[in-house]
Structure 1
């Protein structure tokens, strides 16, 4: 088995719902980003073996294999094949996993792993529609209660004893770190502007007092609000995975090695606990401990998801998401996995750490985790 190397990547700014990216066609947004990413990384599109694209709501202008459509929309070679992957919020992270497996097994030298979600047009669940049938058959419903993301996140808060103050504390930290990262230019290297949109629209001034004034949105007596949950967003992200031999032959300097990866299943009722067993599994498989990991990205789908992970592994809030997370930056679900991997790999180089961990919860009861090792 060879090594799968994360050569690099770029992402669009993440736009607010009905914000400045709301008029973009997702295939065009992703196609432009992908073409520009290949140009920045000096990759001839004809050398790409496959494209793997994460997208959750494959309806309307995100239907019909949006990864393939985006590639063709950008005028890229029709001979390059593409597959669209749905692992819910972990879709583009799983696309990276599958791309790394193709490269490590010798089946490919260059794989584009990207993701897109235009949530202004396609909110979660829109692909179920009306009159199209129930995705949960009667035997499923006889075994499992069907819950929403918000309901599951509130149950996590209850199970781990996370109160409103703790959830708002996590949200304030995300906003403050994102604001500092943007002001300091720490995210600029990963972003390609879309027209005159040059940075994420999500960050906004937040304090414990301003967040305390918000009402719960998922339960009358709940702890989760619009201020301590991830934002509904529009955006795309793209990374390129190459073989070590290809990078050496072309004289390219990768950001990191994709050293380990897992996708795990969890209870689909509480559904968002996946980062906990995914982290435990990948650490066991790798023989590493959290003390060996210098950069940690735990997706902030909801403050309770991150709070439970911190409690389970006895980690301080200061140890994760140093440039802010989805509460501040946004969470276009099909793109977030690739974004997190790109952010973590970039931070490895900036901070001089050896390894990074990226982990996400995913709808349907899944959890993803990736360990990156700084390229030597």
Structure 2
């Protein structure tokens, strides 16, 4: 079994995923190509040395259709011999891309892979890929009361774990404060590459306060849903949710032997993997069973993990996870999370990976855990070890 290592991770800044956002004028193919070129140039590689490119993308329609990974490889000027594929595991797409890359290396099928993701939510709105989809009679038969969107799932999680609106808003304000502090301290300098005039995450709001968040309206309550779920308090707002975001990210993953041969320094190795399915109504609780599974497989305890990146799709997700594991809040998304740093769904997995690697390096930590809730009730989990 080969050792799969992370040599480098890059990402664009996060642009607001709406017309006029800092990256909205960039075609998503070109945005992904920008990160692919950057990771080759930073590490002195030729594209012909890359065995495969695996990118995540959720809304694979419009400007993101036709296997956007292959389009990005060609747009980046890579040799035509370099293959590429696009995968969709919803919000965990690029985390899954990293899993596939690392597992292929460990099995000996690859030497060098670039894994990453892209999403332009300003140009290809979330949900546009399935806007004309018709419901499955079999699924309707299995869930006769109907499934719900992710915002309602977040409301159900807040209710089940006893999380108040004040809890959610306080957590969200802290996410912005941590992200703003990390930017001020230069923590993202090793991973963020400027794209034109965009150099920092447009989604971070340093002046966010609990009082300001408390004035925002809730967005997912309807009379029909309130009748169906009378116990729900309806606390999810734009302020305690991740914003629509444009971004791309990429990780250079290879065998340790190849890194040594090329004179490149591995920054971390992949230690353990897990992927699970979970209740599709609650939908966003998958990180909990995924964490249980990966800790069991790794032989580690949560106390041995120096940082946990639990994606902040909505504030109840990391808060419920933390309560379930009695996790140290100081280790949870210590440089802020998606509520502040943005959630360009196809790109978020490798964005979290880059943040985790950089945090372990900055603090001297050894192990990091990354987990991500995913549409349809799934979750990936990854443990890395700093080298």
Q: 1:319 offset after TM fit, Å?
A: 2.2
Return the alpha-carbon distance in structure 2 between the equivalents of residues 282 and 78 of structure 1.
38
Q: 1:219 offset after TM fit, Å?
A: 1.9
Return the alpha-carbon distance in structure 2 between the equivalents of residues 249 and 316 of structure 1.
39
Is 1:252 paired with 2:253? no
Return the alpha-carbon distance in structure 2 between the equivalents of residues 360 and 54 of structure 1.
14
Residue of structure 2 equivalent to 1:78: 80
TM-score (normalised: structure 2): 0.95
Residue of structure 2 equivalent to 1:17: 17
Return the alpha-carbon distance in structure 2 between the equivalents of residues 230 and 72 of structure 1.
31
Question: Any idea what the Cα deviations from partners look like across 1:19-52, whole Å, max 9, x if unmatched?
Answer: 1111110001100211111111222211000000
CA contact (8 A) 1:9 1:41 kept: no
CA contact (8 A) 2:63 2:124 kept: no
CA contact (8 A) 1:51 1:113 kept: yes
Question: Any idea what the Cα deviations from partners look like across 1:64-98, whole Å, max 9, x if unmatched?
Answer: 00000011011111101101010000000000000
Q: 1:188 offset after TM fit, Å?
A: 1.6
CA contact (8 A) 1:35 1:74 kept: yes
Matches within 5 A, 1:205-354: 205-219=207-221, 221-354=233-366
Residue of structure 2 equivalent to 1:3: 3
TM-score (normalised: structure 1): 0.97
Return the alpha-carbon distance in structure 1 between the equivalents of residues 99 and 350 of structure 2.
10
CA contact (8 A) 2:187 2:358 kept: no
CA contact (8 A) 1:231 1:327 kept: yes
Q: 1:17 offset after TM fit, Å?
A: 2.1
Q: 1:123 offset after TM fit, Å?
A: 2.0
Question: Any idea what the Cα deviations from partners look like across 1:54-73, whole Å, max 9, x if unmatched?
Answer: 00000011000000001101
Question: Any idea what the Cα deviations from partners look like across 1:89-117, whole Å, max 9, x if unmatched?
Answer: 00000000000011000111000001000
Return the alpha-carbon distance in structure 1 between the equivalents of residues 219 and 312 of structure 2.
17
Q: 1:245 offset after TM fit, Å?
A: 0.7
Residue of structure 2 equivalent to 1:129: 131
Return the alpha-carbon distance in structure 2 between the equivalents of residues 373 and 137 of structure 1.
42
SS of match in other structure, 2:99? helix
Question: Any idea what the Cα deviations from partners look like across 1:194-219, whole Å, max 9, x if unmatched?
Answer: 01110100011211111111111112
CA contact (8 A) 2:55 2:86 kept: yes
SS of match in other structure, 2:220? coil
Unaligned runs of 5+ in 2: 223-232
SS of match in other structure, 1:127? helix
SS of match in other structure, 2:249? strand
Residue of structure 2 equivalent to 1:194: 195
Q: How large is the Cα RMSD of the aligned pairs?
A: 1.0
Is 1:157 paired with 2:172? no
Residue of structure 2 equivalent to 1:138: 137
CA contact (8 A) 1:170 1:317 kept: no
Return the alpha-carbon distance in structure 1 between the equivalents of residues 194 and 266 of structure 2.
23
CA contact (8 A) 1:297 1:358 kept: yes
Q: 1:316 offset after TM fit, Å?
A: 3.7
Residue of structure 2 equivalent to 1:50: 52
Residue of structure 1 equivalent to 2:228: none
Residue of structure 2 equivalent to 1:59: 61
Return the alpha-carbon distance in structure 1 between the equivalents of residues 319 and 377 of structure 2.
18
SS of match in other structure, 2:154? helix
Return the alpha-carbon distance in structure 1 between the equivalents of residues 126 and 140 of structure 2.
20
Question: Any idea what the Cα deviations from partners look like across 1:266-286, whole Å, max 9, x if unmatched?
Answer: 011111101101111000000
Return the alpha-carbon distance in structure 2 between the equivalents of residues 58 and 233 of structure 1.
16
Return the alpha-carbon distance in structure 2 between the equivalents of residues 264 and 195 of structure 1.
39
Return the alpha-carbon distance in structure 1 between the equivalents of residues 266 and 43 of structure 2.
10
Return the alpha-carbon distance in structure 1 between the equivalents of residues 327 and 193 of structure 2.
33
Aligned length: 372
